[in-house]
Amino acid sequence: MKKILIPVFLLSVIHTYAQENVLQYVKPITGTQRMGHTYPGATVPFGAVQLSPETDTIPYEMNGKYNPDVYKYCAGYQYEDKTIVGFSHTHFSGTGHSDLGDILIMPAVGKLQLNPGTADHPESGYRSPFSHSNEVSAPGYYKVKLDRPDVTAEMTATNRVGFHKYTFNAGGPAHIILDMMYNIYNYENKNVWTYIRVENDSLITGFRQTNGWARTRTVYFAIAFSKPFKSYGQRNYASDVYRGFWRKFDQTHNFPEMAGKQIRAYFDFDAKPGDNVELKVALSPVSTAGALKNLQEEAPGWDFAAVKQSAEALWTKELNKIHIESSSKEEKENFYTAMYHAFINPTTYMDVDGNYRGLDMNVHNTNGYTNYTTFSLWDTYRALHPFFNVIQPTRNADMVRSMLSHYEQSAQHMLPVWAHYANENWCMIGYHSVSVIADAIMKGNAPFDANKALDACVTTARHRSYDGLGYYIDKGYIPEDKEGSSVSKVLEYAYDDWCIAQVAKKLGRQDIYDEFIQRSQNYKNVYDRSTGFMRPRLSDGSFKKDFDPLQTHDQGFIEGNAWNYSLYVPQYPADMITMMGGKKAFARHLDSLFTMELPDKYFAETEDITRDGIIGNYVHGNEPSHHVVYLYNHTDQPWKTQDRVRMILKKMYHPGPDGLGGNDDCGQMSAWYIFSSLGFYPMCPGSDQYELGSPAVDKATLQLENGKTFVVEAKNQNDKNVYVQQVLLNGKPWKQLTISHADIMNGGTLTFVMGNKPKDYTK
């Protein structure tokens, strides 16, 4: 029997830090409650498979109306729930909208029940009660005792294969249920079609096509069983008017082809007490043949422990790219949990042979790079992709290549906005692929054709029919009476345009530079001097009346209010500060943001904002404010950046089920934590500069891909000593409030000397 072997380079990494196993500090369940929407299951870094429990079957709509309770189930798992309905293989981590939940597997014992039942009466179906005291969640591994069937469920994963192990503790007539109906954000007609083919008594293949957030998404699979099933069958819950001449057959029992929109299948075994049934579920975006190839390549044998060990080794390798020293266990748990979350998405989207299904629904081959999907770009351009440019540059370059392939296959000839599984779902605003591409080029991480990438950025930014861009190009602003969220769009377009201008300048494309540097000034067109805030304008040029800078809805902003969004000019902080009254007035304005009280009524109707994610009126739980605390560096009071960074780290993050102050959004919240804990932050991606803050770790060693190490030391750092007294770079005094990307990538040591009183160390 072939075993999964741990590569030698992984063993060397494990040996390097053998004195401290960093996996012990990762708490995958952190952030699952309320807003966090993370999942606790088994995956490997950037894995195509995210195998995790589902805790309910909440419908997307009830009586023809949106069901707000479904929002809690963006990742399928809610910590407060007391039942599990099964384990599916695809999930988003921390998003504010959802899809996926493919290929649900559930073991059962006794009388066969193909309905999941209800949370109040789990005995009415195949769902099972469970207790968190019998639950284990760790990188690459998940385990839980399912109480009613008395089955211990364990799972691990490779990149493209989910590996299940079910131990039937009491024995009896055993079943493996394959629920092809289950969906996250489920509603009638979300399933377009499902298909199962029984290849032999221990192998099945099939696919599922869904119409959801991704409207043409097809997932192919191959499932191998560790022992033959003695019988099998299905029930089709769809009310099909036309059934053709397949009615000649009894398709419900031992019939090797199952097809329909709403199918639940079952596979029967006899289990003695303590017997195991194992399953390997391989996924493919291309075909069942691709799924079989993935299965054979990544998990050829039945050694569950070896696959688990390999998954743990992969996580150990990635997490040890930054090794921190801290006297606080909670700090280590927060940091390595954030690293874990940051390395879940984007996800691999191709078979082992490089084939993947593109946006044009045709099959493409990468010819050498890894193709990725799950691009939550409105969130992740801010800190996650800049973090990858430091610690995962090769992966980030491949992510850019994936975005450029998306552009080439796009019928709209646009870069991705929010993309997953060969679909553009158009969620949120801006065209922030531009930022990701520019950040990679400006930081020297561009092993691709930079001029072609710039052309893609320009074509995207000139797409007049997209989300108010025609108005933006013609007027320099977007009329709120023509397009909602108009101010947010103007501010984000202006930033993206600045990114295009920087790349054009670097590449000597003067005409492009001139066009987009002018567009990057459009933020000025929505600033109202009479109120001191960015404010929506109407078609006639006037400012919208009935303006409330604390209100989110119908005020020209999305997922934020004027108080927070008016500070979104990261490309021109000095000009913005001058526009808003100068450094002293601006600092007072920032102080007010953090110290005033935002009444509940201003976010009561906003799913993405809760009290947990707010400090004063500063909304850390949503991304538009993530750069704001670093703006103090551009006033005469940089120590307030240091103080407030440490406050946010303490208040918004802790290693518990409600441990995040907002949606993690595919790693953005976590990337903010990582950067800020290290003492530097990319306030304006597309620039090569990082703002200096206040490190929360005693020491951090970054293992860079170029073979060098960059060390951050924080001498005398503790919860009271949050103020920087002195900075040294490679032993020499550093009087600046920023460092460059080259300063980091060249290796060396950045030393912070900390104290308990504010000090301007630049003088």
Domain ranges (residues) in the chain: 28-319, 321-350+588-763
CA distance 570 to 687: 10
d(CA 129, CA 124): 12
Q: Identical fold at 28-319 and 321-350+588-763?
A: no
3-state secondary structure of 15: helix
C-alpha 316/C-alpha 713 separation (Å) is 23
Whether 124 contacts 68, CB under 8 Å: no
**Number of CB atoms found within 10 A of residue 408's CB:** 14
Q: What is the residue-wise DSSP string for 138-162? A: ETTEEEEEETTTTEEEEEEE-SSEE
Predicted pLDDT of residue 6: 45
28-319: CATH class: mainly beta
pTM of the model: 0.96
d(CA 508, CA 451): 10
Phi, psi of 184 (to 5 degrees): -80, 135
Which residue type is seen at 333?
A: E
**Exposure class string for 672-697: b at 16+ Cβ within 10 A, else e:** bbbbbbbbbbbbbbbbbbbbbbbbbb
DSSP 3-state of 442 = helix
pLDDT at 34 (0 to 100): 62
Task: Answer yes or no: are the C-beta atoms of 593 and 617 closer than 8 Å.
Answer: yes
Which 8-state DSSP code applies to residue 422? S
Beta strands in 395-488 (DSSP E): 418-419
Per DSSP bridges, beta strands 231-236 and 263-271 are antiparallel
Distance CA 476, CA 463 (A): 15
CA nearest neighbour of 89 among 168, 166, 164? 164
Share of the chain residues as helix, strand and coil, in percent rounded to the nearest 5: 30, 25, 45
Quote the CA–CA distance of 763 and 752 in Å, as a whole number: 15
Look at residues 669, 737, 745, 680 and name the one whose alpha carbon lies nearest to residue 712: 680
Which tokens in the block code for residue 30? 């952190």
Neighbours of 607 (CB within 10 A): 15
Q: Closest by alpha carbon to 590, among 628, 645, 535, 534?
A: 628
Instruction: Show the beta-strand stretches assigned E in 530-616.
Output: 533-534, 614-615
Please state, in angstroms and as integers, the Cα–Cα distance from residue 232 to each residue in 103, 197, 268, 544, 557, following that order. Answer: 17, 12, 6, 64, 54
d(CA 506, CA 514): 13
What pLDDT, on a 0 to 100 scale, did the predictor assign at position 16? 44
Prior bond of 346 cis (ω within 30°): yes
Q: Which fold has domain 321-350+588-763?
A: GH92 mannosidase fold (3.30.2080)
**Please, where are the H alpha helices in 554-637?**
562-565, 573-579, 583-595
What phi, psi does 161 have (nearest 5°)?
-130, 130
Task: Report the length, in residues, of the chain.
Answer: 763
What per-residue confidence (pLDDT) applies to 33? 64
Pairing of strands 128-129, 355-357: unpaired
Residues 313 and 21: their CA atoms lie apart, in Å, by 11
Q: What is the dihedral of CA 296, 301, 303, 305, to 10 degrees?
A: -20
How many Å apart are CA 233 and CA 255, to the nearest integer? 7
Contacts (Cβ under 8 Å, ≥6 apart) of 35:
608, 610, 612, 613, 621, 660, 661, 662, 663
Tell me the C-alpha distance between 133 and 136, whole Å: 8
Backbone angles phi, psi at 675, to 5 degrees: -55, -50
Q: Residue 454 and residue 403: Cα distance in Å, rounded?
A: 12
540 Cβ neighbours under 8 A, 6+ residues apart: none
Q: Report the pLDDT value the prediction gives residue 18, as an integer from 0 to 100.
A: 43
CA pair distance 378, 547, nearest whole angstrom: 25
Under a CB-based contact definition with an 8 Å cutoff, are residues 733 and 699 in contact?
no
> Cα-flanking dihedrals φ and ψ of residue 22, to 5°?
-65, -20
Q: Where are the beta strands (DSSP E) in 201-321?
A: 203-210, 217-225, 231-236, 257-260, 263-271, 275-284
CB 26 within 8 A of CB 335: no
CB of 649 closer than 8 Å to CB of 361: no
DSSP conformation class of 253: B
Can you tell me the distance from the alpha carbon of 274 to that of 488, in angstroms, rounded to the nearest whole number? 58
* CA dist., res. 683 & res. 691, Å (int): 6
User: Rounded CA gap, 307 and 304, in Å?
Assistant: 5
The token pair that represents 715 in the structure block? 């001498």
Name, in order, each residue with C-beta under 8 angstroms of 245's C-beta and a sequence gap of 6 or more: none
Dig out the tokens for 178 from the structure.
């394959």
Q: Are 713 and 750 in contact (CB under 8 A)?
A: yes
Q: Under a CB-based contact definition with an 8 Å cutoff, are residues 23 and 326 in contact? A: no
Residues 20, 567: Cα–Cα separation, whole Å: 42
What distance lies between CA 314 and its chain's CA centroid? 19
* Alpha-carbon gap, residue 85 to 728, rounded angstroms: 55
pLDDT means over runs of 10, the chain (763 residues): 44 48 95 76 97 96 92 94 98 94 98 97 97 98 97 98 98 97 95 98 98 97 98 94 90 97 97 98 98 98 98 98 96 98 98 98 97 98 98 98 98 98 97 98 97 98 98 98 98 99 98 98 98 98 96 92 97 98 98 92 76 89 94 98 98 92 93 98 98 98 98 98 98 98 98 98 94
H-helix or E-strand spanning residue 318: helix 304-319
Element (H, E) at 408: helix 393-409
In angstroms, rounded to a whole number, what is the distance separating the alpha carbons of residues 73 and 29?
14
Q: Name the nearest CA neighbour of 234 among 176, 280, 283, 282.
A: 176
Alpha-carbon gap, residue 281 to 288, rounded angstroms: 11
Strands 709-715 and 748-755: parallel
Closest CA to 165 of 107, 110, 104: 107
The two three-digit tokens of residue 196, written as one number: 């199962």
